[in-house]
């Protein structure tokens, strides 16, 4: 799975009274980024959930903020896989201004593969290629 | 079920760059108000969902805005039932500043009773007293 | 200003444990719709705020829910102006599934034109054509 | 400034279709925790912003997830300062179930003191005691 870029525009709802995008909302954008990364690689997360009961439970999430996004600014969310095995997957993210190219934030999330009951479970082998697992 | 008052404090996350609470977030506060209204009357919505598969699907929601809430302001959410029968329930809301008493917004929501499959379904009779249905 | 259609995809963040998009989030989508409606008509709301201090304070918001949106579903947000004068503007919305065409919700919002201090103020005449005010 | 504990109840709005609180919302709870930590120590963040133009720009945010919070569950947000100087402050957080005592998440945020123009600026000395800076 190679890196993928998605674009979103900052919503009024996502700003706070400091006049910039509220810090927790970058994690929502990361979710958009990893969802579209999967789609671009031929897999929809919703299908993986529905067909095989595979769920990704978030174990860690980090964001480093360099520069804030502003209302109505279009941003580019770059997402990619940094590490994966049958038990877990790590995604990396870089969010930058689509208008100026300036880097806004970088982030990572780590997810544990779980079954429908949200218990840790090995990823079905058919998904190995998607995540680059050998 | 008589009217009930709950207090919440406006979060930074709930403000927008106009420096006030974003308009959609009052609907979240209404949810808090009706949840606490039920609890105050001896019923937890989560139990109704878990025990009997009763779900309330929102059919209509309205808010009229008189004055905005500001960050860190404590507000009082008053909620009550305005109409109910075995098929649906309507809630009324008034949200005011707990500091000044000034009325901020009024609202209503209408909900259809549904089963686990989210199909309209009559409310089990044991819940009639809770909603004041005869 | 003629009607405009925008597309968004339902985010995981926007769902709730009923497995559908949380009712308050349709108001966020309406904001996206009216923002893009303005942009499609040659005006950016952020410029109106920055250049002339014109702000739109929400006075009323209503949503009628016919069918819920689901995670990862692409929806079409249609927005248009239903009424406008120098003091206020009303927008209408229809949100439908981009996949099935099924209507999900309809809504309206009413906004009062305000100045930088958030006091009601007549809209500068140069914006009349944008809102179809004669 | 010693550690402080605040309680909030998980809102329906904060859940996602996995039936648990959406991962980004723990960062909102951290904000509630640090806001109440300041208040418990005699200082309101809103006053610091209004009186002296002091703003805290988030530089880093991390969350490690052990166990999810569920709808209507009451949680305890413990917040404290882990490091502070005239340029920045770090907060630590532990969020646990108020019902079972089970630890749900731990987190940290790092903030840079800024002026009204959001440029890094030394914290006014009068706030040193609040943050435990010598």
Encode pLDDT of B83-102 as tens digits: 999 999 999 999 999 999 99
Is the pLDDT at D24 greater than 90? The verdict is yes
Task: Compute the nearest-CA separation of C13 from chain B (Å).
Answer: 14
> B104 and B69 in contact (C-beta within 8 Å)?
yes
Q: Name subunits touching C (3+ CB pairs < 8 A).
A: A, B, D
N residues, chain D: 134
Cβ contact, residue pair C13, D15, below 8 Å? no
Query: What 3-state DSSP class applies to A32?
Result: helix
Structure confidence at residue C34 (pLDDT): 96
Q: With 90 as the cut, is the pLDDT of residue D43 above it?
A: no
CB of B59 closer than 8 Å to CB of B110: yes
Q: Are B79 and B35 spatial neighbours (Cβ–Cβ below 8 Å)?
A: no
Inter-chain contact D61–A31, Cβ cutoff 8 Å?
Answer: no
Answer whether D15's CB lies under 8 Å from D55's CB. Answer: no
DSSP B122: P
ipTM of the complex as predicted: 0.95
As a whole number of angstroms, the distance between CA B76 and CA B64 comes to: 16
Q: Where are the alpha helices (DSSP H) in chain B?
A: 25-40, 45-52, 128-131
B46 close to D (CB below 8 A): yes
Token pair 């970088």 in the structure block, residue: A106
pLDDT category, A50, cuts 50, 70, 90? confident
pLDDT at A42 over 90: no
pLDDT for the residue numbered B45: 85
Residue with tokens 């099935």: C100
Burial (Cβ within 10 Å: 0-12, 13-18, ≥19) of residue A130: middle
- Summarised one tens digit per residue, pLDDT across range C34-56 is 999 999 988 888 888 888 999 99
Nearest to C71 among A12, A46, A70 (CB): A46
Rg (CA), chain A: 16
Looking at residue A57, the DSSP 8-state letter turns out to be E
pLDDT at D62 over 70: yes
DSSP D102: -
Q: Are C56 and C114 in contact (CB under 8 A)?
A: yes
pLDDT in tens, A17-33: 999 999 999 999 999 99
Strands C55-65 and C103-114: antiparallel
Interface contact flag, A17 B13, Cβ < 8 Å: no
How far apart (Å, rounded) are the C-alpha atoms in residues C45 and C61? 19
List C109's β-bridge partners, or say none: C61, C91
Contact A72 C12 (CB under 8 A): no
Contacting residues for D29 by C-beta, under 8 A, at least 6 apart: D8, D75, D77, D95
Q: In this predicted structure, what is the pLDDT of residue A36?
A: 96
Q: Is the dihedral of CA B18, B22, B23, B26 positive or negative?
A: negative
Average pLDDT, chain D: 95
Top pLDDT among A50 and D82 is at D82
| B51-76 average pLDDT score | 96
Lowest mean pLDDT among B13-17, B43-47, D120-124: B43-47
State the count of interchain CB pairs (< 8 A) between A and C: 27
- Residues of B designated catalytic: 16
Choose among C92, C125, C124: nearest CA to C111.
C92
B17: tokens are 């760059």
- Whether residue B22 lies within 8 A of chain D, CB to CB, comes out as no
Q: What is the pTM of this model?
A: 0.96
Report chain D's C-alpha Rg in angstroms: 16
Residue B39 exposed, middle or buried by CB count within 10 Å (0-12, 13-18, 19+): middle
Distance of CA B92 to the CA centre of its chain: 8
Question: What per-residue confidence (pLDDT) applies to B109?
Answer: 98
Which chain C residues are closer than 8 Å to A10 by Cβ? none
Give me the mean pLDDT over the A39-57 stretch: 89
Residue B120 clears pLDDT 90, i.e. is over it: yes
Question: Is C23 in contact with B55 (Cβ distance < 8 A)?
Answer: no
Average pLDDT (B28-43) is 94
Contact in structure between B77 and B8 (CB atoms under 8 Å): yes
By the CB < 8 Å criterion, does C109 face chain D?
no
Percent of chain C with pLDDT over 70: 99
The verdict on a CB contact (< 8 Å) between A17 and B22 is no
Other Cβ atoms within 10 Å of A126 Cβ, number? 8
Beta-bridge mates of residue D83: D90
pLDDT score of A119 more than 80: yes
Strands D88-97, D74-84: pairing kind: antiparallel
Q: Residue A1's pLDDT is what?
A: 67
Q: Which of B57, B65, B109 sits opposite C58 (nearest CB)?
A: B65
State how far the Cα of A58 lies from the Cα of A48, in Å rounded to an integer: 16
């Amino acid at each position: 799975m190679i890196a993928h870029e998605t674009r979103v525009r900052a919503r009024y709802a996502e700003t706070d009274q400091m006049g910039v995008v509220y810090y927790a909302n970058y994690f929502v954008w990361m979710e958009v980024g990893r969802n579209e990364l999967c789609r671009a690689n031929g897999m929809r997360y919703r299908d993986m959930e529905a067909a095989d009961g595979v769920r990704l439970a978030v174990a860690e999430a980090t964001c480093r903020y360099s520069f804030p996004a502003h209302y109505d600014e279009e941003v580019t969310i770059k997402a990619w896989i940094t590490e994966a095995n049958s038990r877990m997957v790590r995604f990396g993210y870089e969010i930058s201004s689509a208008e100026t190219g300036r880097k806004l934030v970088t982030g990572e999330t780590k997810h544990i593969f779980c079954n429908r009951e949200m218990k840790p479970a090995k990823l079905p082998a058919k998904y190995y290629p998607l995540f680059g697992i050998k």
